[in-house]
Amino acid sequence: MTALIGSAMTGGYGGADILKGCTVEVESGEIAVIVGPNGAGKSTAMKAMFGMLDLRAGSVLLDGEDITNLLPQHRVQRGMGFVPQTQNVFTSMTVEENLEMGGFIRNHDFSDTIAEIYDLFPVLREKRNQLAGELSGGQRQQVAVGRALMTQPKVLMLDEPTAGVSPIVMDDLFDRIIDVARTGIAILMVEQNAKQALTIADRGYVMVQGENRYTDTGAALLENPDVRRAFLGG
């Protein structure tokens, strides 16, 4: 079942359209990755699907419901989680306080969810009382993802989750993202590390100048000679 689909999205900031009829979708339990050159509109497409950008044309559906005109906070209540690339943790709060902040829309006990997140990210259990600002980049990303999972989303959107982390940390984060998808959550991810991201992608989108240039499985895009030559370094 398609959890989230942005269809024929057109829009931008101010008068200029950055997105030009692009379509992105992801199904429950699936990892979909948007890759492409800088300035292609990758993050803009994700922000449009989260309601941070008004579309001039096109639509966004979550589990079949048209959410095109909903504010971001109402999309969270419907089951969307979003992790921005930067400023995605409360640095002056502990790891556990960050997770508790993520449960703000839930009006019942969420200790079970915190326990599940600690199972998913064991290092966070070890550092639960440490300030998030003292953590490494990769650990902060785990806090940010964990906080988004506190709302028990149907769809989790990640904007360049491996930006600025070492290759070892990147591999570990990707392993954790696979684990999240296995719980049935749909994952939509924008990534600069295209080759590595497509390796774990069920579905891949190569975006150029706000349009879908190639759409296929991650494996097929990795094998596509045109994609390899133009976007993956040969």
Average pLDDT over residues 135-140: 91
- Write the single-letter amino acid at 8: A
Average pLDDT score, the chain: 93
Q: For residue 16, what pLDDT is reported?
A: 87
Residue 164 has pLDDT above 90, yes or no: no
Length of the chain: 234
Residue 1 has pLDDT above 70, yes or no: no
Residue 234 has pLDDT above 70, yes or no: no
Q: For residue 159, what pLDDT is reported?
A: 94
Residue 233 has pLDDT above 70, yes or no: yes
Distance CA 26, CA 29 (A): 9
pLDDT digits (tens, 9 = 90+) for 75-122: 999 999 999 887 889 999 999 999 998 887 666 778 889 999 999 999
Distance, CA of 14 to chain centre: 25
Q: What is the pTM of this model?
A: 0.92
Residue 187 has pLDDT above 80, yes or no: yes
Confidence of residue 8 (pLDDT cuts 50, 70, 90): very high
Q: In the chain, what are the domains? A: 2-231 (3.40.50.300)
**The pair of three-digit structure tokens given for residue 29, joined into one six-digit string:** 């339990």
Average pLDDT over residues 158-176: 91
